[in-house]
Amino acid sequence: MAVMDATDRKILVHLQDNAAQPVAEIARKVGLSVTPCWRRIQRLEEIGVIRKRVALLDPTRVGVGMSVFVTLRTDQHNADWLESFATMISEMPEVVEFYRMSGEVDYLLRVVVADMAAYDAFYRSLISRVQLTDVSSSFAMEEIKFTTALPIAAHPVS
């Protein structure tokens, strides 16, 4: 894990809230001048704490307002199959999250699509490309909480 102090954590909190805000504004909020603040941000990027800065879009306004959580089970548990499967899933733009799970479900996907017809097309493409023993889909009826912000620990991380 990366070594970060309280100022680094404050910077991360502000960047997670709005990565487009000027460095001068972040510096003011954390009690630094611009240059030391910018150096800290660059260091956090270099060591991989900050992976990427992105714009968060409204799914409905860009035509993909339906979220579907898809659980997958397979009887294939070898490295070659997993590599091929992971590559295939990663190339499907509808899949915005992809996890290998413990327990009864092998994989969990979060898929975003326009509507049921679009999901059906995604589903048909998925099952035509890979052998699975079970596919189960749950449709989100309401988004109650969504955030990309990670909780930033109050204690030093080393």
Give yes or no for a contact between 59 and 68, defined as CB atoms under 8 angstroms apart. Answer: no
**Residue-number span of the structural domain to which 14 is assigned:** 6-46
Give the chain's domain count. Answer: 2
Opening angle at CA 93, ends 72 and 61, nearest 5? 115
Mean pLDDT split into 10-residue runs, the chain, 158 residues: 89 96 97 98 97 95 98 95 96 98 97 98 96 96 95 66
For residues 41 and 75, membership in a common domain is answered with no
**Is residue 147 in some structural domain?**
no
Cα–Cα distance, 90 to 87 (Å, whole number): 5
Same domain, 37 and 77: no
How high is the pLDDT of residue 154? 64
78 and 41 belong to one structural domain: no
**Statement to judge: residues 11 and 72 lie in one domain:** no
Query: Is 51 within a domain?
Result: no
Q: What is the CA radius of gyration of the chain?
A: 20
Query: What backbone torsions phi and psi does residue 144 show, to the nearest 5 degrees?
Result: -95, -40
Q: What pLDDT shows up at residue 101?
A: 97
- Look up the pTM and report it: 0.88
Please check whether residues 82 and 37 belong to one and the same domain. no
- 133, part of any domain: yes
Within the chain, where are the H helices? 6-17, 23-30, 34-46, 79-90, 116-129
Say yes or no: 73 and 118 in one domain: yes
SS3 breakdown of the chain: % helix, strand, coil, rounded to 5? 35, 20, 45
With beta carbons less than 8 A apart as the criterion, state whether 3 and 40 touch: no
CB 37 within 8 A of CB 45: no
User: What CATH number is given to the structural domain containing 98?
Assistant: 3.30.70.920
Q: Check which CATH number belongs to the domain holding 19 and give it.
A: 1.10.10.10
